[in-house]
């Protein structure tokens, strides 16, 4: 069965950096659009960044210029490099995969409809 396993979360001060990873198994990774989504305490799920199978990327306005999404198809791994972190970036971060939804649609829909999800990794940013 499909599994997505996130890692790399933690607690850092504002201005710091973290790199999240998501290892996928049970699917042909290179054929899937992949995305990162987050849920802050008391808030709805939010699209953060997504990447198509061809490498095209889409970002939420709130993270443009600070976060970079990338993928390594040979390792079936998705990454999210997060720089200049802010307290408002505090959230549970989830990785998701879908073979039909494009990166742009995934962000627009905040992940609604994505087929597979990981269990998340917690990111906490202190001021």
Contact 65, 86 (CB under 8 A): no
Mean pLDDT of 29-51: 97
pLDDT of residue 124: 98
CB atoms within 10 A of CB 93: 23
CA 74 to chain centre: 18
Token look-up 């989504």 returns: 37
Token look-up 């549970």 returns: 92
- Output the DSSP codes for 21-42: EEEEESS-GGGSEEEEEEE-TT
pLDDT digits (tens, 9 = 90+) for 84-123: 999 999 999 999 999 999 999 999 999 999 999 999 999 9
pLDDT of residue 121: 98
Share of the chain above pLDDT 90, in %: 100
């Amino acid at each position: 069965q499909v599994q997505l396993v996130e890692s790399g979360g933690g607690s850092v001060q504002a201005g710091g950096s973290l790199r999240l990873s998501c290892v996928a198994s049970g699917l042909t990774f290179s054929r899937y659009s992949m995305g990162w989504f987050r849920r802050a305490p008391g808030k709805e799920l939010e699209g953060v960044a997504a990447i198509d199978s061809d490498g095209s990327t889409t970002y939420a306005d709130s993270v443009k210029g600070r976060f970079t999404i990338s993928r390594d198809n040979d390792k079936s791994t998705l990454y999210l490099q997060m720089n200049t972190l802010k307290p408002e970036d505090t959230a549970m971060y989830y990785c998701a995969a879908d073979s039909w939804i494009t990166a742009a649609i995934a962000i627009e829909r905040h992940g609604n409809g994505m087929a597979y999800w990981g269990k998340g990794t917690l990111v906490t940013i202190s001021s």
